[in-house]
């Protein structure tokens, strides 16, 4: 997801402003205070502060000259070996400006680098340690080759907690003059799933419509069905009312413009709230995984979701 205007507007400049990841922030802060940074590998889901923390490191180390001393590359755009051999090497071999003895190269989405580019990168990291430090950011650390991982201090980021998300919502709402109801806060947390960037994008979209944010508006702007509606569909199917359940599902998908994958993921969450036997819930979750796999492989989404509702009806009748 692209960064919204708000994401850039509220991007922290100091360690104190960063929400969540406190353990990691404290360790990084100690490195920066000593001006002695190892190569770093930040791994974790999208929108939880990896890029933000990297830029804060650069700003705290270099002050006003942070742009001249930092090279930021998005590896998903430039993932070949030539980028490592030319751009990265040329930047790494020159001395940093100011009193910090090294520059910083930030490689975003580095798990998108080809294996050949990663092999070239490991030598560059070794040869230019005196003049350069690397910060690699990725969603899946398993896609980074072991020789690079062993050269880095690895930090694993986790999605923001409910408490951190609520603090962020309150902070943005206060600065933008928004009123956010408690139900809207719960809805925002549920929709963003700990992803700070997605949260700010949704809040910005809602703020364009009106200044008083409610749960209805949040679900509508996020193109996500209300949990209550999904629960109704599943409850109808579990009672054996297949036709009404099917009709409601089709209406829901058309009203919110949802894909089959969006729906099955929401269904999986709501299964646990159904008023049925625990053993039956486990059967449904198992079937959910099978349907999701079929959808990923390209099966017809309406047919697969109908078959899932039919399966719920059969399980409910047992």
Over the stretch 121-172, which tens digit does the pLDDT of each residue have?
A: 888 888 888 888 999 999 988 999 999 999 999 999 988 888 889 988 998 8
* Residue ranges making up the domain that contains 199: 162-221
Q: E strand or H helix at 106, and its extent?
A: strand 103-108
Q: Is the pLDDT of residue 291 over 90?
A: yes
Q: Is residue 6 part of a domain?
A: no
Residue 8 forms part of a structural domain? no
| Beta sheet of 153-156, edge-to-edge order | 70-74, 103-108, 132-138, 40-43, 153-156
Same domain? For 113 and 186 the reply is no
Which of 14-28, 86-100, 153-167 bottoms out in mean pLDDT, i.e. has the lowest? 86-100
Q: Is residue 122 part of a domain?
A: yes
pLDDT at position 245 is 92
Confidence at residue 149, expressed as pLDDT on a 0 to 100 scale:
92
Residue 6's pLDDT band, with cuts at 50, 70 and 90, is: low
Task: Supply the mean pLDDT for the chain.
Answer: 86
Domain check: are 28 and 111 in the same one? yes
pTM, entire model: 0.80
CA 15 centroid distance within chain: 20
Instruction: Determine, yes or no, domain membership for 179.
Output: yes
- Residues 188-232 have pLDDT tens digits of 998 888 888 888 889 988 988 888 998 888 888 887 888 888 999
Output the domain CATH number for residue 309: 1.20.272.10
Residues 127 and 143 in one domain: yes
**What pLDDT does residue 75 have?**
62
Domain of residue 60, CATH code: 3.40.50.300
Report the share of the chain in percent with pLDDT over 70: 93
Q: Please report whether residue 14 resides in a domain.
A: no
Residues 166 and 289 grouped into a single domain:
no
Residues 147 and 26 in one domain: yes
Q: Residue for token digits 């001249």?
A: 68
Same-domain check for residues 214 and 177 = yes
Higher per-residue pLDDT: 172 or 1: 172
Which H or E run contains 211? none
Same domain, 196 and 273: no
Report the alpha-carbon distance of residue 262 to residue 98 in Å, rounded.
50
Q: Does 216 map to a domain?
A: yes
To which H or E segment does residue 72 belong? Answer: strand 70-74
Is pLDDT larger for residue 224 or for residue 56? 56
Based on the structure, what is the number of domains in the chain? Answer: 3
Which CATH number fits the domain that encloses residue 192? 1.10.8.60
Same domain, 48 and 127: yes
With respect to residue 283, please indicate whether it lies within any of the assigned structural domains: yes
Residue 76 has pLDDT above 70, yes or no: no
CB 180 within 8 A of CB 173: yes
Residue 19 has pLDDT above 50, yes or no: yes
Same domain, 118 and 196: no
Is residue 131 one of the residues assigned to a domain?
yes
Q: Choose the final residue of a domain: 103, 122, 156.
A: 156
70, 189: one domain: no
Q: Which of 221, 240, 262 is the last residue of a domain?
A: 221
Q: Which of 124, 156, 188 is the last residue of a domain?
A: 156
* 44 shares a domain with 143: yes
pLDDT at 83 > cutoff 60: yes
- Residue 1 pLDDT level (bands cut at 50, 70, 90): very low
Based on the domain organization, do 138 and 172 belong to the same domain? no
Judge whether 24 and 57 are in contact, CB under 8 Å.
no
């Amino acid at each position: 997801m692209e960064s919204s205007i708000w994401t850039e507007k509220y991007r922290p400049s100091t360690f104190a402003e960063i929400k969540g990841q406190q353990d990691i922030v404290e360790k990084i802060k100690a490195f920066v205070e000593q001006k002695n940074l190892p190569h770093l590998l930040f791994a974790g889901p999208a929108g939880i502060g990896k890029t933000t923390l990297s830029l804060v490191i650069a700003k705290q180390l270099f002050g006003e000259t942070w742009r001249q001393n930092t090279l930021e590359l998005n590896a998903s755009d430039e993932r070949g070996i030539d980028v490592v051999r030319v751009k990265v090497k040329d930047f790494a071999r020159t001395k940093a400006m100011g009193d910090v003895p090294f520059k910083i190269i930030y490689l975003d989405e580095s798990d998108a680098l080809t294996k050949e580019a990663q092999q070239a990168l490991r030598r560059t990291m070794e040869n230019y340690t005196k003049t350069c430090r690397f910060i690699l950011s990725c969603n899946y650390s398993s896609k980074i080759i072991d020789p690079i991982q062993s050269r880095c201090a690895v930090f694993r980021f986790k999605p923001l907690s409910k408490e951190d998300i609520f603090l962020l919502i309150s902070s943005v709402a206060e600065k933008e003059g928004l009123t956010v109801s408690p139900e809207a806060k719960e809805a925002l947390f549920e929709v963003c799933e700990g992803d700070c960037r997605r949260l700010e994008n949704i809040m910005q979209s809602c703020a364009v419509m009106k200044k008083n944010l409610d749960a209805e508006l949040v679900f509508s702007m996020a193109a996500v069905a209300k949990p209550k509606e999904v629960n109704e569909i599943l409850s109808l199917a579990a009672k054996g009312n297949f036709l009404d359940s099917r009709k409601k599902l089709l209406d829901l998908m058309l009203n919110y413009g949802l894909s089959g994958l969006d729906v099955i993921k929401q269904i999986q969450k709501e299964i646990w709230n159904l008023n049925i036997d625990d053993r039956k819930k486990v059967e449904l979750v198992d079937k959910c995984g099978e349907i999701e796999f079929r959808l990923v492989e390209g099966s017809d989404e309406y047919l697969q979701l109908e078959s899932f509702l039919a399966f719920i009806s059969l399980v409910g009748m047992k």
